Structures are given as C-alpha cells and as structure tokens.
Amino acid sequence: MNKKGTTILAIVAILAVMMQFFPIDKTNPVLDPSKDITAIHPVPNDIKLLLQGSCYDCHSNQTAYPWYTSVAPVSWWIKHHINEGREHLNFSTWADYSTERKEHKLEECVEELKEGEMPLESYTWMHGNAKLSPEDRQKLVDWFSNLQ
C-alpha cells in the first residue's frame, strides 16, 4: 500500500475510534404499564407476542438494545429510527392519545401492515424473529381493524 493509502486508512481508523466516544442514550422513557395499548384493549396472547416481537423495539418505551447499538455510527442510525418510531407511534403511551389520533394510528397500522411497510426490512434483517408471515400480518390487520 502506498503512503497516501496508508494515511487515508489511518485517518479512517482514528475517526472510527473517536466515534465510539459519543454513545447513544439507551435509557428507555419511564414506563406506565396502564397506558400501554395492551392494558387498554383486550389483546389475545398471540397478538401481544406479535406486537412485542415485531413492533415494540421502535414503537414503545420497551426497546431492547442489542450489542451492535454500542458501535457508532450504527448506533446513531438505530437510535434515530427508534426516536422516529416512538414519535410516530408509541404503544406505551396509547392512553395519552386523543380518540381521533388513536383512530388515525389504527388506520395507519392497518395500511402499513397491508402494504408490507412494517416492520422495516432493515429491522427484520437483523431481527429475523420479527418478520411477519402473511398469516401473522393478517392477524394484526384484523386486530387493529376491530379496534376502530
């Protein structure tokens, strides 16, 4: 390797090490279980398992952070997704939503599931157990639709 290549490689390595000094905050917001959608609506166990396995890491205050969320810049990207997910829909704060917002969120859940947009492919790539079969997807669609 020539001197220029070695210098570039050294700079990249130094930057990679420096990024590790800026970890993400993995503290989940305070959880009030009485506000969770599963506390407000009757939820069959199979639906609850689907929600927790495929939705809750990004759409609740119960995020489980895997080992790779300790490695920047991947951790920054994942934290951004979690923040966006919670901002868009947070099952842990369902009781705080207005009736109109709940209705809208339920419609969006049905739409996203029918279109195969959720869970994100980038999420299921690393979390194979979060992939939804067509049958599981339909169970969730039916459950969300029945809440409307």
- Which among 142, 138, 130 is positioned nearest to 63, based on CA atoms? 130
pLDDT digits (tens, 9 = 90+) for 72-103: 999 999 999 999 999 999 999 999 999 999 99
Look at the pTM and tell me if it is higher than 0.75. Answer: yes
Q: So where are the chain's domains?
A: 25-147
pLDDT digits (tens, 9 = 90+) for 18-49: 889 999 999 999 999 999 999 999 999 999 99
The phi and psi torsions of 45 (rounded to 5 degrees) equal: -55, -40
Angle at 58 between CA 94 and CA 80, to 5 degrees: 120
The answer to whether the Cα torsion of 70, 76, 77, 79 is positive or negative is positive
Burial environment of residue 11 by CB neighbours within 10 A (0 to 12, 13 to 18, 19 or more):
exposed
